[in-house]
Amino acid sequence: METITLLHTNDLHSHFEHWPKLARYLSAQQGPNVFTFDDGDAMDRAHPLTEATDGYVNVTMLNQAHYTAATIGNNEGLGNSHDQLAHLYDTAQFPVALANLFEPDGTRPAFAQPVVYRTTPAGTRLAIIGFTAPYFSTYAPNGWLVRPVAAVLPELLATIGGTYDVLIMLSHLGLPADRYLATHYPQLDVIIGGHTHHLLPTGEQVDHTLLTAAGRYGEYVGQITLTVDATHRLVTARAQTQAVAALPEAPADAAAIDAWQQQGVAQLAAQPVARLPHALALADSGPSPLVACGLRALQAAGATPAAMLNTGLFLGDLPAGVVTRADLHRILPHPMHLLVTQLSGADLWRLMMEIQKNRAFLRHFRMVGMNFRGVRFGDVQLAGLTLTAKNQVRYAGVPLDFDRQYTLTGVDTYLFAPFFPTLEIAGVNRFLFPQLLRAVVGADLAAHYPLE
């Protein structure tokens, strides 16, 4: 009998506060029969060092912890421009298993392999395949073709049949998808899961397949123990997770964590953007100079007379003086892109009613997920749109014509959150890539308050 150990992480999201303990643990477990995998979303531009290095620091960390292979999550795939993702793994000392992402012409990106093979000293053949969440509406404007699992996996399984003894899937698809795949594709021996930040402390057996997942942010690390017989047939598969908080701390850990933060801030602070003659203050509700600047930036970038933003996106003021990329990252850490929506006058009126109905609730709503890195959603602020006491809507100062088409610019979160269903139901939506919200605001500041 041969024993094989698979270590795995998922959804680290640049939570470097856990990395020293986690990296030590992974390095200490290394051996000829030990294989280490990451299931995507290792990077997150909410951390200043990830932002400053475009994620290269995250790849360097995975190199140092001796990862065997990784796949990508939506933070790698959509938090980077096409060119940034194409070169993210240039220095990687591990392959990227990714079967469902393609260039627009259908060719595979140079950094991705549909299957990665490894062989144990005893001759057991491991095949590792990877899939990322197929966000069709956002990958396309970022210059990628992403395909659903059902369009890729059956052919892939047919192609690699007979080339492995144990088949492992890195699935950045979410727990419901993993359960479906286990039921419909019995060839899968192990699914290492993520994306939905679920924790399976001892795994979950679904028919022949063992599902595993290690939560989020590096709070846990997963370990899978496989036993195979003399013919390399899988006999048993067991899963467990280790809480990283329970691992021993080294004297230098706190200093390393702080250094990563300070290095990122320093690199971003060395890149000036604009010079403000006066501070741009943030108000929770009512007129806010900073939010007004953001709305103006959206109107310009989206080429629309109207724009909407929620005050919770802004995490602080901008003082007078030089504004740097560090300042923009501090107040707008979210990896959000702009959304341009076209609506009929009737649908735009309904959207305004949804905003008005939800306004008081959203001011205090604690927002989680959907690329939001703040605390509360906050007040909805508008430019180019006004609502009278009699629920009459004016667009650029003119009453709405219900039969006419109108456009407005917001952020991608508004399409995914449940507060404004008209955007998804009736809107013709277009995502603007590759710039994130903070870069768009920075470009507007540079235009209105140049450094020189």
Per-residue pLDDT, 287: 82
Model confidence pLDDT, tens digit, residues 294-313: 999 999 999 999 999 999 99
Q: Going by C-beta distance under 8 Å and a sequence separation of 6 or more, which residues neighbour residue 44?
A: 12, 13, 14, 15, 50, 75, 79, 335
Strand locations in 147-254, DSSP E? 166-172, 190-193, 199-206, 209-214, 220-228, 234-243
CA distance 364 to 270: 35
pLDDT at res. 341: 98
Tokens standing for 155? 């052919």
Tokens encoding 366: 């604690």
pLDDT band at 314 (very low <50, low <70, confident <90, very high): very high
pLDDT tier, 240 (very low <50, low <70, confident <90, very high otherwise): very high
Give SS3 for 90: coil
Percent of the chain past pLDDT 90, that is, above it, reads 95
Residues in a beta bridge with 171:
131, 193
Each residue of 84-95: pLDDT tens digit? 999 999 999 999
> Which residues face 251 on adjacent strands?
none
Could you give the C-alpha distances from 269 to 263, 265, 446, in angstroms and in order? Answer: 10, 6, 15
Nearest to 314 by CA among 399, 258, 381, 398: 381
Quick: pLDDT tens for 129-173. 999 999 999 999 999 999 999 999 999 999 999 999 999 999 999
The whole-number pLDDT of residue 390 equals 87
pLDDT at 370 over 90: no
pLDDT > 70: percent of the chain: 100
In which band, very low, low, confident or very high, does the pLDDT at 83 lie, cut at 50, 70 and 90?
very high
* pLDDT value, residue 389: 82
**pLDDT number for residue 347:** 98
pLDDT score for 286:
74
Task: Report in angstroms the alpha-carbon separations of 188 from 149, 175, 207, 233, 399.
Answer: 13, 15, 10, 13, 59
Q: Which helix (H) or strand (E) holds 274?
A: strand 272-276
Q: Which helix (H) or strand (E) holds 381?
A: strand 380-383
Element containing residue 102 per DSSP (H, E): strand 101-102
Mean pLDDT for the stretch of residues 20-29: 97
- The pair of structure tokens assigned to 417 is 């959150």
Q: What is the pLDDT of residues 183-222, one digit of tens each?
A: 999 999 999 999 999 999 999 999 999 999 999 999 999 9
pLDDT score at 372: 84
* Domains of the chain: residue spans and CATH: 2-262 (3.60.21.10), 272-448 (3.90.780.10)
Average pLDDT, the chain: 96
Say yes or no to pLDDT of 388 above 90. Answer: no
Provide the pLDDT for residue 24: 97
Burial group, residue 104, by CB count within 10 angstroms (0-12, 13-18, 19+): exposed
